[in-house]
Amino acid sequence: MGWFQRMRAIVTGGAGFIGSHLVDALAARGDNVVAIDNLSSGRVDNLKQAERTGKVRFQKCDLTQPNGWEALLTEGDVIFHFAADPEVQIGETNPGIHFKENLVATFNLLEAIRKTHGKKTILFASTSTVYGEAAQLPTMEEYGPLFPISTYGASKLGCEGLISSYAYTFGLTGLALRLGNVVGARAQHGVIADMIRKLKRDSNVLEILGDGTQKKSYIHVSDCVQATLFAIEKFIPTKSTFDAYNVSSPDQIDVKRIAEIVIEEMGLSDVGLKFTGGVDGGRGWLGDVKIMQLSIEKLKRLGWKAALNSEEAVRRATQEMLSGS
């Protein structure tokens, strides 16, 4: 990966689910990494493997509060911005969380970059939920207008807008990766983690939010990290100001099939499936995008594709989460 070999990287949300896997990959490559996290959902233990390389330094700080962490930005040339509140469903009861942890944190980060006058590249972990209920499936990056149906999706779209505006106004370069549902080891949220917790409490019946027909694209965290490294390498030489790529597997899997896989991997039988029926046409919760499939042709044309499809990603993630790997 040429220039990428000696990169100085900053990873916000570096102790979190996806961020810590990215830190692992960067450290394994020999890159110097500063991992930033407020530990609201991240865990220091997630960085143990990477810290053994001697290439990683962890700093606990809160991007929502400008209080001295800004000086850390001088230690990196590329900023991987993965800090965010990971719980999509919380927006139904506490939308302020998404505003603060996503939008305010991103604004503060961009302001800090602007004030240090650094010519930085920022790669932002966005989400498929920015598309809302897309009429076009698979959904391409050019699809629009974008009407998010959750505060999480809205906050992520707002972050994309902020990064784009700062890139065009202040000389940054920005790249947004619109991620499908990412699964794998260290995940504490999401449908698989939820199902495992429920089945450990009661192996006879599994309550499933919604009507079971919710169908979406999933991607294993290892594929997500490889796509991130691939995208940043391809993006930098183009000298583009701002761009966005979808990152996911090319297919879908429904919630009922996910439940079957989790049950199989837990070695259970005769488990009853109890669907809540959901809200607003069978969604798991208000703001839940019921049907999602991303087009990955844009990134695929550059030479990337996921190694695992949605079902394979779900199965491997379930195995990893059950083994604690």
- The DSSP string of 255-311 is HHHHHHHHHHHTT--SPEEEE---BTTTBSSTT--SB--B--HHHHTTT---SS-HH
Inter-helix orientation angle 310-323/191-201, to 10°: 50
* CA angle in degrees (0–180, nearest 5) for 86-90-95: 105
| DSSP letter, residue 147 | B
Is-cis flag, bond preceding 138, omega within 30? yes
The amino acid present at 322, given as its one-letter code, is L
For residues 119 and 171, is the Cβ–Cβ distance under 8 A? yes
- Neighbour tally for 55: CB within 10 Å: 17
Distances (CA, A) of 4 to 77, 125, 177, 291, 300: 11, 19, 18, 36, 20
CA count, 13 A, side-chain hemisphere, 143: 25
Active site residues: 152
- The DSSP string of 92-128 is GT-THHHIIIIIIHHHHHHHHHHHTT---EEEEEEEG
Residue 146's nearest CA partner among 162, 159, 163, 129 is 129
